[in-house]
Structure 1
């Protein structure tokens, strides 16, 4: 095993862990800010709509792949 690739993998793992921690926090922050602007019910309905749309797209593309 090449020793020069090992530190690079650790660096990538650190960035990945940082992204996995930071992205959800930023996402919740944005959702809260949107909720303050348009209201809680509207935000909830918007999240529900985007979730349903995403599920439909995943289902469609998965069936196309197979």
Structure 2
């Protein structure tokens, strides 16, 4: 089974879709927004797991990057 949280590829506007399971958790433009989106859905210690592949899978771009190519 993969990570429960997926940070999807970077859009042309510099935002990334975040899903938890198959549910949309938010659109984020930086790590601060990512942490806040995850807190809203119950991951209160998200800042400690941003680089943990058991929790978060970064797709379509490098982790912590939000600039469009």
For the aligned pair, the TM-score class normalised by the smaller chain equals under 0.3
Structure with the largest fraction of helix: 1
Structure with the largest fraction of strand: 2
* Bigger Rg, structure 1 or 2: 1
